[in-house]
Amino acid sequence: MTVASQQPVPTTKLTGRDLYKHMGSPKKIVAPMVDQSELAWRRLSRQLGADLCYTPMFHAKQFATVEKYRAQMFDALDGDKTADRPLVVQFCANDPETLLQAAKFVEDHCDAVDLNLGCPQNIAKKGKYGSFLQDDWDLIYKLINILHVNLSVPVTAKIRMFTSKERTLEYAKMILSAGAQILTVHGRTREMKGQQTGLADWSIIRYLRDNLPPDTVIFANGNLLYHEDISRCLEATGADAVMSAEGNLHNPALFCQPLSYSTSIPAHEDIDVLYPRLDILLRRYFNVLKDTPGEASRIAAKSHLFRILRPFLGIHIDVRAEVAALHKQSPIEDFATITEHVEKIVHNLLLDQNNRERDIVRRSHQPLDDSGAVYKDIPYWRAQPYFKPVSGQILYGGKRKLEESAEIPDNADKREKLQVVSTKQAASS
């Protein structure tokens, strides 16, 4: 494909608010993640309430020039109009012509193409893409504009913020002026990663909402741990929708219930819906995986098992060993064996009357910050959020810790008994 021969497409393609409505006015969105939002995971997430999904981040140069990579990452069923829509395909790139060449391969199989301007990892720094482009506004403009002018589908962008809200606003305005039709804002700077992750700043997303044209479509990314955080985020930011990465990976049922648009926690949560038992969730994932074609879903499965089963594997180390032994050529029967093993363990756990009595969600007695967020203790045999360890402690904020002892099952992993403190430096989700 020679990109130079491409002619501008008619400007009748969907823009901004019309694109958002065309995609069903989504509220709950699965984020683009490296090798982790592939087809099988998107299918599972859609079953569990996701309204819109992004593909994994694809490397534009490899996608454009390496047929094997392209075939592995984007199979025939990816973007299928009946099975995998609405869908946004995301690329990282630093060369406009190469980005366009890559995007041309997918424009007939998605609703929009997204430019990754948010990846904060060192590999992005070395490759000069993701958040490490945010100091080169001329290049970003060219990357977005070439897609805006030449693709038959709209272009969108996912960004991180600057430390200055005013600088972030000017950045957002530039990206929109280049032709981006939807702006996803991760409320963290590029320095906020790993041990320095911290809490996403919803106030800057609100600042963008209040200072960009009212019709601008904004998706908010960051701080989704529990289902009620969705409504909390929408209310705090004024965004059109929320996007989740880590929260979705550890508990894909995060999106399961319809939104109540209330920031309060219901008196009685449906534990089986919002925090499904791991044996039931794993069986559901396995049933999707075995029926999903393509290499990408099978390659990603091992990582998904580690995340889904994270609270479980520290206790049942025999299952951990089975998951660790998986590789990209592992037959589907190996996944079936692990699924059956987990089912047997959970079944036997719940034969114990003590465990059945503990099979409830316990909340901290007081909000942990001014937003009303609370910590919940969820039985380890159920899906739950991930709290990033910082300096050897599992943090849920700053200084207050949840009571331990009876709130945690006797056989729980000792690491789960570390201090749990307020949301000011919470997990990255």
Catalytic residues: 119
Q: CB-based contacts of 356: which residues, under 8 Å, 6+ apart?
A: 350
CA–CA separation, 189 vs 271, rounded Å? Answer: 34
Q: Count the Cβ atoms, other than its own, within 10 Å of residue 404.
A: 14
CA distance 382 to 251: 9
Contact 39, 78 (CB under 8 A): yes
Alpha carbons within 13 angstroms on the beta-carbon side of residue 196 total 8
**Terminal CA-CA length for the chain:** 38
Query: What's the token pair of residue 212?
Result: 């960009």
Distance CA 78, CA 86 (A): 11
- At 416 the three-state DSSP class reads helix
Which of 245, 250, 377, 371 lies closest to 308 in space, CA to CA?
Answer: 250
Helices (H) and strands (E) in the chain, counts: 18, 12
